[in-house]
């Protein structure tokens, strides 16, 4: 029995997502990023209210809302952004580290996701507010309540930077070494 060279050749490798797959993953990627920015925009007034109100029950309610909202939304959205971004990088012509703008977006996503699990979630888990009578009492119970101001500001700015990079695609290709 003879084998032809066609039989010995491995099947063609399919590194790319199909058009339909790429569009589905891209939609998930965009929805997760827009969703995270939306969560940040919703958290910001809650945190500002908790920081500025003199009414204890209002301040406590604002921080309770943060404690309810954050653990369900931000970890899921951060993991979805990273996973869909990696899928798009590996399954499209852009690659993960082939172009500077993609690499920077990947780094932004990884930094934000790391911060979510290393800093934000532990802080939210430790968030205990009482039915204090004044906003100052609630803030004193929290230790440093201003730390809850940074996540929505920093992550929304970084996510909007990633958005601009996706649209502009600056810097071109990375050089091969």
Tens digits of per-residue pLDDT, 11-66? 444 568 999 999 999 999 999 999 999 999 999 999 999 999 998 889 889 999 99
Token pair belonging to 35? 């969703």
- Rounded CA gap, 43 and 91, in Å? 34
Residue boundaries of the structural domains of the chain: 18-168
Per-residue pLDDT band for 131 (boundaries 50, 70, 90) equals low
pLDDT of 20: 95
Token pair belonging to 48? 């500002």
What region does 50 belong to: left with phi over 0, alpha with psi -120 to 50, or beta?
Answer: alpha
pTM of the model: 0.84
Tell me the average pLDDT across 131-160: 87
pLDDT by residue (tens digit) across 76-105?
999 999 999 999 999 998 888 899 999 999
């Amino acid at each position: 029995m003879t084998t032809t060279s066609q039989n010995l050749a491995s099947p063609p490798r399919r590194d790319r997502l199909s058009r339909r797959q790429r569009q589905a993953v891209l939609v998930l990627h965009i929805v997760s990023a827009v969703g995270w920015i939306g969560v940040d925009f919703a958290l910001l007034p809650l945190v500002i209210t908790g920081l500025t109100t003199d009414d204890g029950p209002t301040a406590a309610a604002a921080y309770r809302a943060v404690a309810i909202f954050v653990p369900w939304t931000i970890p899921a959205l951060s993991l979805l952004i990273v996973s869909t971004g990696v899928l798009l990088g590996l399954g499209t012509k852009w690659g993960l580290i082939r172009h500077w703008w993609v690499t920077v977006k990947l780094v932004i996503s990884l930094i934000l996701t790391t911060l979510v699990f290393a800093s934000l979630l532990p802080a939210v888990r430790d968030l205990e507010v009482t039915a204090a009578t004044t906003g100052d009492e609630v803030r004193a119970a929290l230790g440093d309540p201003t730390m809850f101001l940074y996540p929505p500001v920093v992550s929304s700015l970084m996510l909007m930077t990633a958005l601009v990079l996706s649209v502009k695609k600056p810097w071109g290709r990375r050089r091969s070494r």
